[in-house]
Structure formats: structure tokens, C-alpha cells
Amino acid sequence: MSQPLNPRRAVYAGSFDPVSLGHLDIIARGARMFERLIVGIGMNPEKHPLFTPQERLELLQSVSHHWPNVEVACFEGLTVSFVRRCGAAVMLRGLRTLTDIESEFSMTLANRALAHDIETVFLMASEKYSHISSSLIKQVALLGTDTANEPLEAFVPHEVIGMLRRKFKRDQPA
Ligand code: ADP
């Protein structure tokens, strides 16, 4: 028989490629709701991430270190298996758009079929972050080179900007 899961412990899983202000908002709100929040960086072999798992781990650790009840870890395999290994009874997800609702709904049903003792809890994205996605951030980093202000400031924590610039070699002289 498997161990009982802790309902005051939650896992917030995703790709975080890279972590955005929208993700950080969900982490801040989740840290207030749960005794312990584990941010899980999923290593999906079908995706081709810009940042390595180690880079994503370091970025997430540096932007979340001031929450004592938040920890960050990488995982392979099914998210529900990772949630179970963490002893958490809750998966935390963020919802931005109607499209998110559709895909999250089927994902939740699939996860429930795999693990009926794990509940998914959704937080609505805050209004000011609901348009932010990791793919939008990568597009802005690649194309937003001719603006006076740093356009990435509106989307990602400061720690991420330097890493993004280096990835796209924006800070190198022509
Ligand atoms: P995935 O690759 O699983 O979509 P992401 O890292 O993009 O992983 O997202 C992880 C979780 O964070 C998902 O529940 C997603 O809906 C949520 N999320 C992503 N961006 C935002 C945002 N701007 N505001 C709120 N939630 C978000």
C-alpha cells in the first residue's frame, strides 16, 4: 500500500523555460496556501528547451530563495509519480486562458485516472501576468533588440534577463 499523501504539501510542475513573472506569482500565492511547495521542473524528452535543467533549477532557486517553504527539484517521468515521491496530495497549476482550461481539463482527468488520491488545484493567473508565456518571452528576447527600454523586464525576473541575453547573444558587440 502506498504512503498517505500530505494535503498541505503541493507540487507546482512545469517546464519553466524560463521562469516568468506569471510563474513567480503562482509560486508566491502557492507558498501562502500550502505548508510546503515543491516546484518541479519536468524534463520532457519531446520538448527542446532553451535552458538546460540545471540552468532552470538555478534560476528558479535564485528567484524563490526567500520563501522558506518553497523548494525546487528536477524530475523525469510522469508528474503524478513525482508528486507521489514528494508525498504531496496536491498538484498546483496556473490558468491563463480558455485554451489553458481545455488542455488542463483533459490533463487533470488523465492524472486523476493515474492517481485518484492526488487533487489538482488551479489558480487563475493574475490579470497583469495572464498574457505571459515562456514562448512569448523567447520571441521577445530574440526580436526585441531595438527598443530603448529592456522589454524583458515586463515578463521575467531580473535574474533571468542576463541568462536570456547570453542565450541569444544580445549583449555581444556586432
Ligand atoms: P508546461 O510546459 O507544463 O505548460 P509551463 O512552465 O509553461 O509548463 O507552465 C507551468 C504551469 O504554470 C502551468 O499550469 C501553466 O498554466 C502555468 N503558467 C504559465 N504561465 C503562467 C502565467 N503567466 N500566469 C499563471 N500561470 C502560468
Residue 136: all three cell numbers together: 512569448
CA of 135 to the centre of ligand 1 (A): 11
For residue 96, give the amino acid letter: R
User: pLDDT tens digits for the chain (174 residues)?
Assistant: 567 999 999 999 999 999 999 999 999 999 999 999 999 999 987 889 999 999 999 999 999 999 999 999 999 999 999 999 999 999 999 999 888 999 999 999 999 999 999 999 999 999 999 999 999 999 999 887 666 667 899 999 999 999 998 888 754 444
Q: Is residue 174 part of a domain?
A: no
Which residues does ligand 1 sit against, CB inside 6 Å?
14-16, 20, 22-23, 26, 93-94, 96, 100, 125, 129, 132-134
Q: Is 138 a catalytic residue?
A: no
Q: Give the contacts of 142 (CB within 8 A, at least 6 positions apart).
A: 168
Torsion of CA 91, 16, 103, 108, to 10 degrees: -10
| pTM of the predicted structure, to 2 decimals | 0.93
Q: Is residue 49 part of a domain?
A: yes
Q: Is residue 10 part of a domain?
A: yes
Report which secondary-structure segment, H or E, holds 40.
strand 36-42
Structural domain boundaries enclosing 119: 6-129
